[in-house]
């Protein structure tokens, strides 16, 4: 049950504070405003006036982020999620929209590409440091929101929409791309078309030999969750986008294995599944996690009991990667 709005304590309507604090931020007193956002919202939360505490924190997070005060904005964003938990707010579309509104205010800034002198090198170093900070604090906010959505919603692994937000931000803003981590969130999301676009974009900037690994990893992650539908959709969409952009699709033994695997999993064909693993062993061994994923897939699709005594290890791997 949602806690109802109440009027405990001598607290005025939250909008009075919101208007004053926005003026403080607009006057450039970011630190002073930050302390007031935290202390005033805490008073409303202590009085169990959670709706108004959320209004104050949402407003503060958004305006601080708009002003480029990323650390301050992220701190208030995390307090917003903590207040959702304290008030036992259920996961629903309206609250998800509030999370998304805060997320949309996190800056997305391109890192400079042209380097001509020492000043440019200094600017690049500063830009990379700022990008790393943005990714870290935005990730902390979205992971907190994921945890709330798992506790107070129906998705045991967290809201698919929030997973998509984090995957997109990690890809667009990370100074060093970690496609394993990005893929982990996309496969727990609900936007395989966007995932396909991200993979195709990555293929245009990655080192040789990374493109087929990225595609195979994405498909195997979907399949390890028992999601054959999105695995097939992803492959079809990647091939379609590559063709429309007149790019080269990475034809390799590994992508050939993935094509055969997707066909095999559509029927009860465990012997063929095992034969494929043996025939393409050298390609599968290019990434250590692939065999673990395939063990998960064998269990999901064919009920094969895992021989590895460290059962569930890949689930722990997912947690570490998040």
Q: Are 239 and 249 in contact (CB under 8 A)?
A: yes
- 1-105+119-156 shares its CATH topology with 177-322: yes
pTM, to two decimals = 0.89
For residue 2, the model assigns a pLDDT of 44
Radius of gyration of the chain (CA): 23
Burial code (b: 16+ CB inside 10 Å, e: under 16) for 74-101 equals bbbbbbbbebbeebebebeeebbebbee
Q: Which two tokens stand for residue 44?
A: 């409303």
For residue 111, the model assigns a pLDDT of 64
Domain boundaries, the chain: 1-105+119-156, 177-322
For residue 277, the model assigns a pLDDT of 97
- Is the domain spanning 177-322 CATH 1.10.357.10? The answer is no
CATH architecture group of domain 1-105+119-156: Alpha Horseshoe (1.25)
Annotate the chain with three-state secondary structure: CCCCCCCCCCCCCHHHHHHHHHHHHHCCCHHHHHHHHHHHHHHHHHCCCHHHHHHHHHHHHHHHHHCCCHHHHHHHHHHHHHHHHHCCCCCCHHHHHHHHHHHHCCCCCCCCCCCCCHHHHHHHHHHHHHHHHHHHHHHHHHHHHHHHHHHHCCCCCCCHHHHHHHHHHHHHHCCCCCHHHHHHHHHCCCCHHHHHHHHHHHHCCCCCCCHHHHHHHHHHHHHHCCCHHHHHHHHHHHHHHHHHCCCCCCCCHHHHHHHHHHHHCCCCCHHHHHHHHHHCHHHHCCCCHHHHHHHHHHHHHHCCCCCCCCCCHHHHHHHHHC
Positions of the chain with pLDDT under 50: 1-8, 115, 309, 313-314, 316-318, 320-321
At 168-200, the pLDDT tens digits run 999 999 988 999 999 999 999 999 999 999 999
* Number of CB atoms found within 10 A of residue 72's CB: 24
């Amino acid at each position: 049950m949602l806690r109802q709005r109440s009027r405990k304590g001598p607290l005025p309507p939250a909008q009075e504070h919101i208007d004053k604090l926005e003026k403080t931020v607009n006057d450039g007193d970011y630190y002073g405003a930050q302390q007031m956002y935290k202390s005033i919202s805490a008073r409303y939360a202590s009085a169990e006036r959670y709706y108004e505490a959320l209004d104050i924190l949402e407003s503060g997070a958004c305006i601080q982020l708009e002003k480029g005060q990323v650390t301050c904005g992220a701190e208030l964003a995390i307090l917003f999620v903590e207040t959702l938990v304290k008030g036992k707010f259920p996961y629903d579309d309206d609250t998800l929209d509030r999370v998304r509104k805060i997320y949309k205010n996190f800056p997305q800034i391109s890192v400079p590409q042209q380097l001509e002198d020492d000043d440019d090198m200094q600017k690049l170093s500063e830009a990379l440091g700022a990008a790393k900070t943005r990714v870290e604090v935005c990730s902390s906010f979205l992971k907190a929101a994921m945890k709330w959505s798992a506790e107070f919603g129906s998705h045991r692994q967290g809201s698919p929409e929030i997973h998509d937000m984090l995957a997109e931000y990690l890809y667009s803003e990370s100074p060093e791309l970690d496609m394993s981590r990005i893929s982990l969130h996309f496969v727990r999301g609900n936007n395989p078309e966007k995932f396909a676009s991200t993979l195709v974009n990555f293929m245009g900037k990655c080192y040789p030999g990374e493109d087929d690994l990225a595609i195979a990893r994405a498909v195997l992650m979907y399949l390890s969750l028992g999601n054959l539908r999105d695995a097939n959709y992803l492959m079809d969409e990647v091939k379609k986008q590559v063709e429309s952009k007149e790019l080269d699709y990475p034809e390799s033994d590994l992508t050939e294995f993935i094509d055969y695997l997707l066909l095999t999993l559509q029927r009860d064909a465990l012997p063929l599944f095992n034969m494929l693993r043996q025939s393409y062993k050298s390609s599968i061994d290019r990434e250590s996690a692939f065999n673990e994923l395939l063990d998960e897939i064998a269990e999901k699709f064919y009920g094969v009991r895992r021989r590895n005594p460290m059962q569930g290890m890949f689930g722990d791997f997912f947690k570490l990667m998040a």
